[in-house]
Structure 1
Amino acid sequence: MRTLETLIGGEWVTSGAWIDVHDPADVREPLARIPALPAKDVTRAYDHAERGFALWKRTSPFERARIMTEAARLIRERLESIAADVTAENGKTLAEARGETGKAADFLDYYAGLARQRYGTLLHDVRPDTRTHTQREPIGVILVISPWNDPLITPARKLAPLLATGNAAVFKPATETPLSGLHFARALHDAGLPAGVLNVVTGRTAEIEEALLDDPRIAGVTFTGSNAVGNRIRRRLADRNVRFQGELGGKNASVVLADADLPAAAKAVVAASFGQAGQRCTATSRVIVERPAHDDFVRLLLAEVEALAVGPGSDPATTLCPLSSPRQRDSVLADIGRAVDAGATVLAGGAADPERAHGCYVLPTVLGDVTPEMAIWREEVFGPVLAVRAVEDFTQAVEAVNDSEFGLAAALFTRDLSRAYRFIDEAECGQVAVNTTTTGWDVHLPFGGFRDSGTGYKEQGEEVLRFSTRVKTVAVHY
């Protein structure tokens, strides 16, 4: 078992107390341990971040870009070892982990490029002999809280833009999957990031929550995770001048119309539903099928599900990995059980994998006879579970998509261009796809949901700069 250190003030430190990290493919023995920092070390991280910000905001954007580009190079150089740790702590397949590692480097490269671009706008001024412009400035120390499902790409998505724009960060990786985030921090550290600009807090959230969230030096919090936790953080920050960026839950729907290419739609829905064992915020968990195509589509869907290979992420043959933890496995199984009790029919899966009792496996599950009143249709499950429902026509399909408190991602499969554009206009979601999966949004594409799926600040692309910068307006009379 490896013993890891964490990064505080430019130094790799331990605490004397430890948290074990397990491989969800077999949870009998821990694979590593990380420091369980006490609250005083969290405060120390903010001390260093405050000093780091004072230096980093005055650092040339070209130097920031150089450091980030070098960090991206180091991540690519270390890709195999990093991907192995992503798989080991999270469970996802090596193919998925390699893709995640490469995309983390892409985020650094993309925002290194943006660091060189314009940072303000020249404006006309009604006053004579007056030149007016705006300029963007960093906001300060930002707390980054990342989830366990994408333990490398989510920190990269959050940290790269805020570092490129001159902010400092205190980063809290998920307790279940800290190795990936530590790899990201090490690459930046080795690339020459000044001490204190990035500080990584590992520990038990219940023991450090007050120190983590209540420090008066926090200028912004960016969080990805459940609505329950996100709303608790939002309420905690409500009476302070602290920005909150939340990427929260989803109950994403794919619509299959009768005129669609049904085999292609079945392949795309299975990829979107069961990649990473359904543990993606943009995973399809509801499929809405126009009634004339329902039976044929379900037959094709079940054939694609049957072809999935369940196993550990380290096995190249695996296409459906374990869930991230015993708690997550048990939660998903309980959701399936409640759906069956409510009247849903198990068309595939519906249980743990009896051949892999020491791991966190749930067989790929398809549920039929689902009604819109059922919890399985309305609440996020975050596992390899897909609910299928028939509707009469396009209008009912759009209504079914929008009949949700969430609004992250939706997809439509059709050959009808007019209905495709109607869907784009009418779907109440932040991400809309036509004839492709609900998942798979690239680094330069703005990302984030509507309704309870997110907040007003998007991630990715140039949109994220609205969160990590503030605008100053300047007038000069000459």
Structure 2
Amino acid sequence: MQEAQAFPRLVDGEWRAASSDAATIAVHDPAEVATIVGTVPSMTAAEVSELYAAAEAGARRWRATSLLTRGEIMATAADNLRADASRIAADLVAENGKTAAEAAGEVGKAADFLDYYAGMARLPYGTLLADARPKTTVEARREPLGVVCLVTPWNDPLLTPARKLAPALLAGNAIILKPASETPIVSVHLARALDDAGLPAGVLGLAIGRIGEIEEALFDDERLAAVSFTGSTAVGRTLQRRLAGRNVRVQTEMGGKNASVVLADADLDLAAATIAAASFAQAGQRCTATSRVVAEAPIAEELTAKLVAAAKAARLGPGADPATTMGPLVSRRHQSEVLGHVGRAREQGATIAAGGDAPDGPLAGGCFVAPTVVTEITTEMDIWREEVFGPVVAITVVDDFEEAVAAANDSAYGLSAAVFTSSLESAHAFADRAEAGQVSVNLPTSGWDVHHPFGGFGDSGSPFKEQGTEALNFYTRVKTVAIRTGA
């Protein structure tokens, strides 16, 4: 067996290996958990503090760098990602379990984020304001915050860091990136692309390590100006409480329990195919995945049959296999959690119409869960309310549009929602009344582009949106300047 590659960390513009053989994290292949695909350093609290010292100096250096130069570096980094896309995608498949097509798409999207914000370097910034005083000019400037910490999840381990990092860099901030311990390898590739593009020392540092060992150093440092977090609602709320009372800006993109409503006048073939893709792609491990389906009674049986057929048609396997249409879940622990949700649904009286188990045989060594369709549920069941974050979709039946809207909104979460209908009136009515940050009509709950503002309501997020021009609001502060030019 080929020895697993050891990946370094980036500190103050230097690439450093782990400080000792013991200070490493082994990264496992979720398609065959016995295989170690790489190792990364497991940093200490003191090493994280060193990152902050470097970032403090890097923030001053980067703020003094012109917007055009920042944009040039980011555009070059995007080119670097694309030039190395095959290797990066292969490592993404190996550590996360995505299919090769999903991984290639993620590399391309990460580069798109860098390109999009690089292009914004040439747009106007700041505003001139009228003033009643004579010979006085007033302007509102946007300035960087300073040092920001980005905490990113294992499900999109390249795309999510790029989504946060690109606007933060354009705004002039220094960044400490904390990737998930399950999938840290591709964050090294992202940092390498930026470092090779000429990013100054200290502007980006990688805080790779076990969060329990570096949490205090990461979040309690007085140099910290902002935290952008993507992950579970439970962890996000804990982070909000930890940072409360301090002058630290917090952005949280958290869980989802996204509903797709299918009305009786919908194109059922389109609805079923779209919902299946939104539910089972990436093994359902997306915050925007469809996990609830609300079907009007006249078409509920036919829609259910189509979703069951789609679930059974999925081809499970390692992501590197071209025949695979759905890869494994990220870890044994997560596999157990998802199967636990399905088991509780069964105990509470639901019917498992498809899937609901882990395959045996050649796939038993991986973290696979068969695509699952749950029927005969009530809205009081846990499967209707709790985020599963796996390839599991629950179906409930309603009598009319009013009940459908109420069911879709019957959640503490509010990330994404969709409606399938041929009625323009119903489409607009649903868009108006859906309590979700993203609403789709005859489209999946997932799949938002880099320039679309993104973020949820309720337990799904915080007031600050990601993506598009909205993202810059989180990473900047506004200074108003008045200048008198004469007597």
Deviations 1:309-344 (A, max 9, x none): 111111111111100000100000011000100001
* Equivalent position amino acid for 1:291 in 2: A
1:40 is aligned to 2:29: no
- Structure 1 residue runs of 5 or longer lacking an equivalent are none
Distance in 2, Cα, partners of 1:367 & 1:235? 35
Does 2:259 correspond to 1:253?
yes
Q: Deviations along 1:242-264, whole A, 9 cap, x unmatched?
A: 00000000000000000000011
Residue in 2 aligned with 1:353?
359
The correspondence of residues 173-188 of structure 1 with structure 2, limited to 5 A, is 173-188=179-194
| Partner amino acid, structure 1, of 2:240 | R
Q: What code does the residue aligned with 1:296 have? A: E
- The residue number in structure 1 matching 2:19 is 15
The residue matched to 2:213 in structure 1 has which SS?
Answer: helix
Task: Give CA-to-partner distance per residue, 1:12-65, whole Å, 9 cap, x none.
Answer: 112211110001000012111110111100000000000000100010111111
Aligned match for 2:84, one of 78, 82, 93: 78
Query: Are 1:240 and 2:243 matched, yes or no?
Result: no
- The answer to whether residue 374 in structure 2 is matched with residue 370 in structure 1 is no
Other-structure match for 1:342: 348
Question: Equivalents in 2 of 1:389, 1:344: separation in Å?
Answer: 11
- Residue 223 of structure 1 deviates from its aligned partner by 0.3
Distance in 2 of aligned mates of 1:125 and 1:396: 53
Which AA in structure 2 matches 1:451?
G
Aligned runs of 1:418-429 on 2, under 5 Å?
418-429=425-436
**2:233 counterpart (217, 227, 231):** 227
1:319-370, CA deviations, whole angstroms, 9 ceiling, x for partnerless residues?
Answer: 1110000010000001100010000100000101112111000000000011
Distance 2:381 2:367 in 1: 25
How many Å separate the matches in 2 of 1:434 and 1:352?
Answer: 33
Supply the distance in 2 between the matched residues of 1:382 and 1:269 (Cα, whole angstroms).
Answer: 15
Whichever residue aligns with residue 400 of structure 2, its letter is D
Correspondence for 1:150: 156
1:47-446, aligned counterparts within 5 Å?
A: 47-355=53-361, 356-446=363-453
C-alpha separation in 1, matches of 2:435 and 2:390: 23
Q: Give aligned-pair identity as a percent.
A: 58
Q: Give the distance between the partners of 1:246 and 1:321, measured in 2 at CA.
A: 27
- Partners of 1:467 and 1:119 in 2: how far apart? 15
TM-score of the superposition, structure 1-length normalised? Answer: 0.99
Letter of the structure 1 residue corresponding to residue 389 of structure 2 = F
Shifted more, 395-404 versus 115-124: the winner is 115-124
CA distances 1:93-137 after superposition (whole Å, capped 9, x unpaired):
010000000000000000001122122111111223222111100
Task: Decide which moves more: 291-300 or 423-432.
Answer: 291-300
- Asked if the contact 2:312–2:355 (Cα under 8 Å) also holds between the matched residues in 1, the reply is no
Contact 1:347/1:365 (<8 A) preserved? yes
Verify the 8 A CA contact 1:322 1:360 in the aligned structure 2: yes
Q: List gaps (5 residues or longer) in structure 2.
A: none
TM-score by length of 2: 0.97
- Tell me which amino acid in the other structure corresponds to 1:456: P
TM-superposed CA distance for 1:426, in Å, is 0.1
Counterpart position of 1:2: 5
Find the residue that maps to 1:388 and give its secondary structure: strand
Q: SS at 2:443's partner residue? A: coil
Q: Distance in 1 between matches of 2:124 and 2:46?
A: 40
Task: Answer yes or no: is the 8 Å Cα contact 2:11–2:51 preserved in 1.
Answer: yes
Q: Please tell me whether the aligned partners of residues 455 and 465 of structure 2 are also in contact (alpha carbons under 8 angstroms).
A: yes
Q: Which residue of 1 aligns with 2:482?
A: 475
Q: CA deviation at 1:477?
A: 1.8
What are the superposed Cα offsets for residues 164-183 of structure 1, whole Å, 9 maximum, x if unpaired?
11000011100000011111
SS in 2 for 1:289: strand
8 Å contact from structure 1 (residues 115, 165) kept in 2? no
Letter in 1 for 2:284: G
CA shift at 1:476, angstroms?
1.6
